[in-house]
Structure 1
Amino acid sequence: MDLHAELRRVLEGPLPGAVSEDFLQRFTFTADDPRSVIALARDALATVLDAGLVWPDLAQWRDRLPERFVAACAPERDAAAGQEDAARSGATAPGGQHEQPVDAAWELSGWLHWFDPDGDGESRGWQWWDAGLDGPSGGWIDVQVEGHPFPSGSLEWLLRASGACDIDG
């Protein structure tokens, strides 16, 4: 994954005439203010893509990420509770990360895991390509994917925590 190119696309969009080397998958959504959804999603994603040389701890992420995004995340639970839930459901993602129910809020640490170079950062499965508006109450996000299926939960949480509803990908 080329995180520098992805960060540039998050901040500026793709270069004119750029063509993805991989497949593009479009996610559509509705929102009261789709422009603010895209802006907040871009802000949160740009922050994690520009983490620096040392991956910050959770307290540092809480300070760095947009307050509205952090506030949308579920409260952190202790590791024992997370392991009990995973054992009960038997559903884990690559790296042992518990799969979130579609409608459930994600813990910030669970979302960050998908970007952590020591976690699932290399196997996230998608990279931001472009975004735009689809009328007064709709928007879309195009992501570059290597194939289908791909783990889209971290993208869907990014959108929901940013205010998106009715996400369809």
Structure 2
Amino acid sequence: MGDWPADELWSQLLPTWFIQQCAPETPEPEHGEPFDVEEWLRQWRAMTPEERAAVDQGPWTLSGWLYYFDPTEEGVGDDRSWWWWWWHAGTDESGGWVQVATTGWPFGSGPLSWLIEASGGADLVYGP
């Protein structure tokens, strides 16, 4: 698994252009104000599919995006639903392309879509 960098190091490890595309971090709740999971879940369930998709599209905070890759997060980073190797991307006369492997359809495409869009990509097409 290796050592996962501390949160404050990521802005030095990732390209500046990507960090600049991320949304500002939201302040942590005040001490004594725990995150209300039930309230968040109630709000999420009340959203339309379109509203949920808009939340998933971003812009994402850097910490929110990294959360999905963190192997130290119980059941998150070790259970990713897509993989991309550098040799499965490139450019041609029609533009750029990225090929990913997934665990099936549907898959958690939000972090991947945000990465592609923050990198300047558009017209995402899912298919064989």
- Relative to structure 1, the CA distance from residue 154 to residue 103 in structure 2 (aligned partners, 3 Å threshold; closer, same or farther) is closer
- Relative to structure 1, the CA distance from residue 58 to residue 106 in structure 2 (aligned partners, 3 Å threshold; closer, same or farther) is same
Find the counterpart in structure 2 of residue 57 from structure 1. 6
Find the counterpart in structure 1 of residue 18 from structure 2. 69
Residue by residue, what CA displacement relative to the aligned partner does 1:55-97 show, whole Å, maximum 9, x if unpaired? 212210011110001110000002339x578356326xxxxxx
| 2:119 matches 1:162 | yes
SS in 2 for 1:133: strand
SS in 2 for 1:80: coil
**8 Å CA contact retained: 1:73, 1:107:** yes
Give runs of aligned pairs for residues 5-154 of structure 1, distance below 5 A: 53-80=2-29, 83=35, 86-87=40-41, 89-90=43-44, 101-119=55-73, 120-129=76-85, 130-136=88-94, 138-154=95-111
Residue segments in structure 2 that go unaligned for 5+ positions in a row = 46-51
Structure 2 counterpart of 1:89, one-letter code:
Q
CA distance in 1, matches of 2:20, 2:101: 28
Residue by residue, what CA displacement relative to the aligned partner does 1:9-48 show, whole Å, maximum 9, x if unpaired? xxxxxxxxxxxxxxxxxxxxxxxxxxxxxxxxxxxxxxxx
- Relative to structure 1, the CA distance from residue 54 to residue 121 in structure 2 (aligned partners, 3 Å threshold; closer, same or farther) is same
**TM-score, with structure 2 as normaliser:** 0.71
Q: CA deviation at 1:163?
A: 1.2
Q: Name the Cα RMSD after superposition.
A: 2.7
CA distance in 2, matches of 1:80, 1:89: 18
Higher RCO, Cα 8 Å, sep 6+: 1
CA distance in 1, matches of 2:2, 2:15: 20
**8 Å CA contact retained: 1:128, 1:142:** yes
**TM-score, with structure 1 as normaliser:** 0.56
**8 Å CA contact retained: 1:126, 1:145:** yes
- Relative to structure 1, the CA distance from residue 145 to residue 158 in structure 2 (aligned partners, 3 Å threshold; closer, same or farther) is same
Residue segments in structure 1 that go unaligned for 5+ positions in a row = 1-51, 92-97
**8 Å CA contact retained: 1:114, 1:124:** yes
CA distance in 2, matches of 1:54, 1:76: 23
Q: Which has the larger radius of gyration?
A: 2
What is the aligned-residue identity percentage? 40
SS in 2 for 1:168: coil
Q: CA deviation at 1:134?
A: 4.1
Q: CA deviation at 1:124?
A: 1.7
